[in-house]
Amino acid sequence: MRLLVVGRLSGQLATAVKMAMAHGAKVSHVERGDQATEQLRRGQGADLLMVDYRIDIAGLIAANEAERIHVPVVACGVDADASDAAAAIRAGAKEFIPLPPEADLIAAVLSAVADDDRPLISADPSMKAVIMLADQVARSEASILITGESGVGKEVMARYLHNGSKRAERPFISVNCAAIPDNLLESELFGHEKGSFTGAMARRIGKFEEADGGTLLLDEISEMDVRLQAKLLRAIQERVIDRVGGTKPVPVNIRIIATSNRDLAKSVAEGTFREDLLYRLNVVNLRLPALRERPGDISVLADHFVKKYAAANGVPVRPISAAARLALVSHRWNGNVRELENAMHRAVLLAVGPEIDVEAIRLPDGQPLGAGSHGAASYNDPAARAAQTADAVTRAHVGQTVAQMEKTLILDTLSHCLGNRTHAANILGISIRTLRNKLNEYADEGVQIIAPQSGVAASGYAAA
């Protein structure tokens, strides 16, 4: 883990730094907020900023976001009172660490942003076969394409490959190609020179250079514009990049891992993805099965999530009842591991009594797992559940226009996905761009569009 400390390195702050280093953090230090932004801009990345509360935290975060640099901030300080801590949190800090520090608190904060709590858990033979192949190729230099539905854990697999590679001690840098507009993605990947376009106030090192020596994950690469795919192909072939506005190539030494929830061969046939780039990326293909295809993983993952969120919320670890386990295994889990994780998070908070029973495991709309449209169908009576659902759908849709039906379907699917645009687009069978255009159209009509609910959806197992 990379920790950037911002502030004067006083005795107490130096002690906190030593504690962080004892827990495996690689620490760098600057005294001012502008120096922190400049260091991040130069590609000397960090997973966490530990900032003296007397520094302008809001200004530091704003300066970073202006450069599209998103690094969590924790505030710290000596002799800070409750109002100082509250002000730091309001300014954007995630936590406040009083100094002199406590070793347990430092460890907890570092653990909260580290990847150590995102293990690749599996008990199902189909998934174990994929993990065995991953172990075979992890130490190679081959580019790897990880495919599978949204939510199956593609990014977790990418981190597993990196941690098992010869580059494990070097950076692991992830770029979500679907989340960054096309006109900004080139700069995000390759960096830019000062003055190369409006707003380029200083040189910015891109993700290729930041990942030098390590691994670069290109998440949802199917959403990358064809023009940019040509530049990416050259970077992979020649191991050099060109910054936007640059005059000379920059050598890079990275391993590429890419993910996609779409059929890239079909995208090639449709002309939206370059065939030569697919060959370069797909030296080894790891297809992660959907959760419904690996039912042996459901119980072990559910148990892990119960322990994880019981600890995070300070509540007792309750076992999952036999009836609840049957309901979990019977559910289709269209949202894959992400949906299961969110469901178990809710179950930990809603459970009463000595066990987590069926009633505590609820869908995003609040209904118990397996309930029909009117809540009357038993989770183990699929015929009754299907009949009730079909009846409700028919009555709800009669009299609507096609446009109204489309809007209802898109908004309901987005709500089901807790605002996750990539997941919703995958379920609907449309591109992320089409979905965004539709949502912008509905927003212009005054419809309130659900935002991604990151407070419920945890990172890790379903980050793909």
Reported as a single tens digit per residue, the pLDDT across 81-99 is 888 888 999 999 988 888 8
Give Cα separations from 307 to 91, 115, 297, 300, 314 (angstroms).
Answer: 32, 17, 16, 11, 10
pLDDT computed for residue 311 by the predictor: 81
Residue 246 in this model has a pLDDT that exceeds 50: yes
Half-sphere exposure for 410 (CA within 13 Å, toward CB) = 25
Give CA–CA dist 383/377, Å, rounded: 9
pLDDT computed for residue 455 by the predictor: 36
Average pLDDT, the chain: 84
Token pair of 272, please?
Answer: 């939206």
Residue 10 in this model has a pLDDT that exceeds 80: no
Per mean pLDDT, which range of 168-177, 199-208, 332-341, 420-429 is the poorest?
A: 199-208
CB 238 within 8 A of CB 174: no
Query: Span 320-329, mean pLDDT?
Result: 92
Neighbours of 48 (CB within 10 A): 23
Return the bridge partners of 410, or none: none
Confidence of residue 408 (pLDDT cuts 50, 70, 90): confident
In the block, which residue shows the tokens 């997973």?
47
Rg (CA), the chain: 24
DSSP E strands, 356-425: none
Q: What is the pLDDT of residues 18-67, one digit of tens each?
A: 887 877 778 888 989 999 988 888 777 788 899 999 999 999 999 988 87
pLDDT computed for residue 457 by the predictor: 33
Give CA–CA dist 450/464, Å, rounded: 20
CB 241 within 8 A of CB 187: no
Give CA–CA dist 271/269, Å, rounded: 5
Q: What is the pLDDT of residues 262-321, one digit of tens each?
A: 999 999 999 999 999 999 999 999 999 999 999 999 999 999 999 988 887 878 899 999
